[in-house]
């Protein structure tokens, strides 16, 4: 049994957000999760005063539509951190349930494509949290999962990096040619959307490989204060 799986079995169960003994996420913390309220931008999924096809924050038209289920607030940052850094892989189905309860499924035939990790990060973590979430969502939506993307350049952590630097690091970091063939219609899957640079570059790689329609779904959305350098934003690949 892998070490991460063994830890899941041996460690006493407790809420990943507040530490209360019992379920992976206690009822109080689940109640404290805040879904992103409508209306949303049809391009990037940002909450907007009036529903629009594209808002001023959208990064071109490489993604046909994107949705994020939850605000990156309350217990959500702790849950995401526990999944990734705490290696509590049992949280992936819980997060997928929260997404499926908030986001309508994509059209039939859409393939869920997790954002890939670089080789170094994959070795350090032992798994790709986006793949775990994608598989759980696929079970709930009756869809397939494929891994047609690979990370061809792995830069430093983007914690605290300004928007321009995040965009530079993500540009050209992904390419088609992963384990699976590039699907005709795909939805990218990731845990947290911060600037959208990672999703945009993944979408460009899919389109270059032959994907016709690219959407995206993320568990949560971290809002950036205007005019800041994103110093408080979560760690991104």
Print pLDDT tens along the chain (237 aa): 555 555 555 666 899 999 999 999 999 999 999 999 899 998 889 999 998 888 877 756 688 889 999 999 999 999 999 999 999 999 999 999 999 999 999 999 999 999 999 888 889 999 999 999 999 999 999 999 999 999 998 765 544 455 454 544 556 899 999 899 999 999 999 999 998 889 999 999 999 999 999 999 999 999 764 443 333 333 333
CB-CB contact of 138 with 106 (8 Å): no
**Spatial distance between the Cα atoms of 44 and 26, rounded to a whole number of angstroms:** 31
Cis bond leading into 17, ω under 30°? no
User: Which contacts qualify for 81-85: CB closer than 8 Å, 24 or more apart?
Assistant: 82/16, 82/17, 83/16, 83/129, 83/132, 83/191, 84/125, 84/129, 84/191
33: Cα within 13 Å, side-chain hemisphere: 24
Report the Cα 18 to chain-centroid distance in Å.
22
- Which pLDDT belongs to residue 172? 83
**φ/ψ (deg, to 5) at 124:** -65, -45
Q: Measured between alpha carbons, how far is residue 162 from residues 139, 158, 222, 229 in Å?
A: 37, 8, 14, 4
**Spatial distance between the Cα atoms of 71 and 90, rounded to a whole number of angstroms:** 21
- Which pLDDT belongs to residue 155? 62
Complete DSSP assignment for 110-155: -EEEEPPPPHHHHHHHSS-HHHHHHHHHHHHHT-EE---EEE----
- Which pLDDT belongs to residue 2? 54
Of 96, 169, 84, the residue nearest 128 (C-alpha): 84
- Which pLDDT belongs to residue 223? 75
- Which pLDDT belongs to residue 156? 52
CB-CB contact of 175 with 153 (8 Å): no
**φ/ψ (deg, to 5) at 21:** -60, 140
- Which pLDDT belongs to residue 5? 53
- Which pLDDT belongs to residue 143? 98
**Spatial distance between the Cα atoms of 52 and 36, rounded to a whole number of angstroms:** 16
Q: What is the pTM of this model?
A: 0.84
Which domains are delineated in the chain?
Answer: 34-221 (3.40.50)
CB-CB contact of 84 with 16 (8 Å): no
143: Cα within 13 Å, side-chain hemisphere: 27
CB-CB contact of 224 with 194 (8 Å): yes
């Amino acid at each position: 049994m892998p070490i991460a799986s063994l830890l899941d079995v041996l460690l006493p169960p407790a809420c990943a957000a507040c530490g209360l003994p019992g379920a992976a996420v206690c009822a109080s913390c689940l109640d404290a999760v805040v879904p992103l309220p409508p209306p949303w931008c049809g391009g990037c999924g940002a909450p907007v005063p009036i529903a629009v096809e594209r808002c001023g924050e959208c990064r071109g038209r490489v993604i046909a539509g994107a949705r994020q289920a939850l605000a990156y607030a309350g217990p959500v940052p702790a849950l995401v951190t526990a999944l990734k850094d705490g290696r509590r892989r049992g949280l992936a189905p819980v997060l997928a349930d929260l997404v499926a309860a908030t986001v309508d499924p994509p059209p039939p035939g859409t393939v869920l494509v997790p954002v890939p990790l670089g080789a170094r990060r994959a070795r350090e973590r032992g798994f790709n949290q986006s793949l775990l979430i994608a598989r759980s969502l696929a079970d709930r939506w009756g869809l397939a999962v494929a891994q047609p993307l690979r990370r061809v350049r792995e830069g430093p952590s983007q914690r605290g990096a300004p928007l321009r630097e995040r965009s530079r690091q993500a540009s050209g970091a992904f390419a088609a040619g992963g384990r699976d063939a590039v699907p005709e219609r795909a939805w990218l899957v990731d845990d947290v959307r911060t600037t959208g640079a990672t999703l945009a570059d993944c979408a460009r790689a899919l389109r270059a490989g032959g994907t016709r329609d690219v959407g995206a779904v993320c568990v949560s959305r971290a809002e950036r204060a205007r005019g800041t350098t994103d110093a408080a934003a979560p760690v991104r690949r």
